[in-house]
Amino acid sequence: MSGTHGACRRYEPRYDLREPMPFRGKIPEPTVRRLSLYLRELQMREEGDQSTISSKQLGQALGFTDSQVRKDLAVFGQFGQPGVGYRTDELIERLRSILGKDRTWNACVVGAGNIGRALMPYGRFRREGFDIVAIFDHDPAVVGTTVGDHKVRPLQELRPLVRERGIRIGIIAVPGEAAQATADRLIQAGVIGILNFAPRRLEIPQTQVRGAERLSVVNVDFTVALEQLAFQISFGLKGAYDDPCR
């Protein structure tokens, strides 16, 4: 849904600030997406008391070949045993570590409009390791009101609260015209990741804001996603259309 077109982007590996992960090189974006799908499927299998799984079973459940599963996992080291497959609990633990979900990420929302208010009380974020610990807005009529369990703070408090609460991820839920300025504030405050719901694509690497060189950004554009779905329906295309690089 990020609206990426043309050649597939490749992520430079970026890990927990405390210690590096034990692999190098560039990781294709589709591989990262598939890792998330593998993890969800494995968690469902574990809930069903399935202790082992083969690459063929995992691939078939998600529409991938067994060789694709093995290729994706091989990027990160050795997994499983020939003839046995993978231990579900061990593979879950490894994937959670690779995806950065073996710790809690404190996040904040900027923008207390419809999207921001919908995000705040969503309990699954915390269960998955993402704890939204603050919400900010520039509107005096909104500041001081309560959203979820948090009081809406003025933007002037962004920098000190980011440091005080160890916020690493900023979620932008403001109108498009305010998105870039909001991103700049978040970077200057010290966040290292931005999830952008504003209808404007952020070009952070081109900014001169201090800290932008270590930032990761994911853009979520609902309009682009709906346009892709409308195209798919119009041409009678079946299946998923959000991963052209798969």
Given pLDDT bands bounded at 50, 70 and 90, which one contains residue 108?
A: very high
pLDDT at site 245:
43
157-189 pLDDT, tens digit each: 999 999 999 999 999 999 999 999 999 999 999
Given pLDDT bands bounded at 50, 70 and 90, which one contains residue 124?
A: confident
Mean local confidence (pLDDT), 60-66: 94
Given pLDDT bands bounded at 50, 70 and 90, which one contains residue 206?
A: low
Of 154-168, 195-209, 224-238, the one with minimum mean pLDDT is 195-209
How many degrees, rounded to 5, is the angle at CA 42 between CA 126 and CA 168?
Answer: 30
Name the more confident of 17 and 184. 184
Task: Kindly write down the DSSP assignment for every residue of 16-54, as one continuous string.
Answer: -TTS--S--S-EEHHHHHHHHHHHHHHHHHHHTT--EE-
